[in-house]
Amino acid sequence: MIETMNQIDLKEMNLEGLEEFIASLGEKPFRARQIRKWLFNAGVNDFEAMTDLSKTLRARIGERARISGITCLKVEESQDGARKYLWELEDKARIESVLIPERDHLTLCISTQVGCAMGCRFCRTATLGLTRNLTQAEIINQILGIKNGLSDKNKLKNIVFMGMGEPLANPENVIRAIKIMLEPGLMQLSHRRMSLSTVGLIPELKRLADQVTVGLTVSLNAADNKIRDYLMPINRRFPLEDLHKALTVFPLPSRRMITIAYVLLADVNDSERHAKQLTRFLSGLRCKVNLVPFNPYPGAQFEAPNEEKVLAFRDALIKKHYTAIIRRSKGREISAACGQLVGSENTKK
């Protein structure tokens, strides 16, 4: 929890903690629920806006607590309507979020770490290394910061944990944030429209499933241990055989599937042989496959396959009766597509 001048951040508290804090001021516990609605539903950043609390109580809370915020340094919009937000946190660290327009709603891709320690060779965020985890409040403040700027806040329906960082390398804060997002009466978000992407941290998969229900996306990118070792160093700790076992027992709500994300890299993992390896890995899993042609960035050592290879790879999966969709990432020209985020003001090609 970030503390400033001994003031606690109310957005870092769960309901029980806030009730205890309010009780320490001699107030009834129900005040905590009122405050949480102001914080997470109305998105206020000022105690004076909490008009159903007395001025005296607002002043007393303000002496001991604060409301954290997030500063938007820059917004870029691509031709396809995607918007990339560059945020500065209270310690001057920077992260990015991406707002993606869909046919009748908005999807927000949020970050969970400053940088990333996973070292995936095709991901630009990996070039940063890891600075630190985001707090519960910093994760949520990305959503609140964007909702406060929308004319129709109800259009923001989908949340995907696919920005900077590996969510399951920051499990405590990510799970706590998800619980607030899903708490009735607060942020008006549904677990059916929330998805978390992971490289496959097996011990944390069970922890996630035990505590919250959200969609799961697994960044696979190769179904051959040698290739995946090269592309994703985490595979040396959790090889494909172990990952397959963990996904087989991962609890899924009815009619929900695990999404397998597969970034197609020219002459690395895009051949007919690689597609056959992938179909063997998928055996026994309730899953669908998102094929993502590589999104280039300055200094990248990879290229995207040509369209013919992309379609052939997809067709090989469909032939084996797997649902396979080619995902064309939005926001490429503003470095807002999958694998391009670096939290910098200078990210254009």
Q: Is the pLDDT of residue 5 over 70?
A: no
Residue 215 maps to a domain: yes
Range of the structural domain that residue 32 is part of: 3-66
Q: What is the mean pLDDT of residues 301-329?
A: 96
Give residue 346's pLDDT band: very low, low, confident or very high (50, 70, 90): low
Look up 172 and say whether it is catalytic: no
Active-site option among 109, 116, 287, 338:
338
Residue 343 maps to a domain: no
Residue 266 maps to a domain: yes
Residue 213 maps to a domain: yes
Single pTM value for the model: 0.94
145 and 17 assigned to the same domain: no
Per-residue pLDDT of 111-153, as tens digits, reads: 999 999 999 999 999 999 999 999 999 999 999 999 999 999 8
Look up 120 and say whether it is catalytic: no
Residue that is last in its domain, among 18, 34, 66: 66
Question: What CATH code is carried by the domain that includes residue 12?
Answer: 1.10.150.530
196 and 243 assigned to the same domain: yes
Per-residue pLDDT of 223-255, as tens digits, reads: 999 999 999 999 999 999 999 999 999 999 888
218 and 163 assigned to the same domain: yes
**Residue 323: other Cβ atoms inside 10 A:** 12
When divided into structural domains, the chain yields a total of 2
Active-site option among 76, 96, 166, 204:
96
Residue 349 maps to a domain: no
Residue 293 maps to a domain: yes
Per-residue pLDDT of 315-328, as tens digits, reads: 999 999 999 999 98
Question: What CATH code is carried by the domain that includes residue 224?
Answer: 3.20.20.70
Residue that is last in its domain, among 49, 66, 83: 66
160 and 261 assigned to the same domain: yes
Strands (E), the chain: 3-4, 7-9, 65-66, 71-77, 83-88, 94-101, 106-109, 113-115, 130-133, 156-161, 194-198, 215-219, 258-264, 287-293, 324-326
